Amino acid sequence: MRVLRTLALTTVLSLAVGTPAAGARPGTFEQQVHQDLTRDHNFNAGAIHSAYGLLDLLGPHQRAILDSYQQVDPNMPYPVDPTITSARIVQRRATEEPGRERWVIASPSMGRNIEADVLVGSGGPIIYMFEGVESPQTSGWISRGIAQRTFPPGPGRPTVIIPNQGRGSMWQDWLHDDPRLGRMKWETFYTKELMPLAQQAVWHNGKRGAIGLSMGATGAMMMANNHPGLFDAVAALSGCYSTVDRLGRESAYLTVSSAGGRAENMWGPQGSELWHRNDVLGHPDGLRGTRIHLSAASGEVTDEEIRSLQGKPFSDQVGGSLMETGSLLCTRRLADALSRSGIDHSTHYLPRGIHGWVAFEQQLAPAWEAIEPALR
User: Helix (H, G, I), strand (E, B), or coil: what is residue 209?
Assistant: strand
Could you report the per-residue pLDDT of 1-19, keeping only the tens digit for each?
343 343 434 443 444 444 4
8 vs 23, 219, 308, CA distance in Å? 12, 21, 22
What's the pLDDT tens digit per position in 139-186?
Answer: 999 999 999 999 999 999 999 999 999 999 999 999 999 999 999 999
**Residues with Cβ < 8 Å from 53, sequence gap 6 or more?**
none
10 Å CB burial of residue 203 (0-12, 13-18, 19+) is exposed
Q: What is the CA radius of gyration of the chain?
A: 20
Is domain 88-298+327-375 given the CATH code 3.10.180.10 in the classification?
Answer: no
Residue 187 pLDDT more than 60? yes
User: Domain boundaries in the chain?
Assistant: 88-298+327-375
Q: What is the pLDDT of residues 27-66, one digit of tens each?
A: 466 787 888 888 877 777 777 777 767 667 766 666 666 6
Residue 205 reports pLDDT greater than 60: yes
What is the rounded distance in angstroms from the CA atom of residue 321 to the CA atom of residue 9? 11
| CB 326 within 8 Å of CB 305 | no
**Contact indicator for 71, 22 with CB cutoff of 8 Å:** no
Distance CA 103, CA 325 (A): 35
pLDDT, residue 65, reads 63
Average pLDDT, the chain: 90
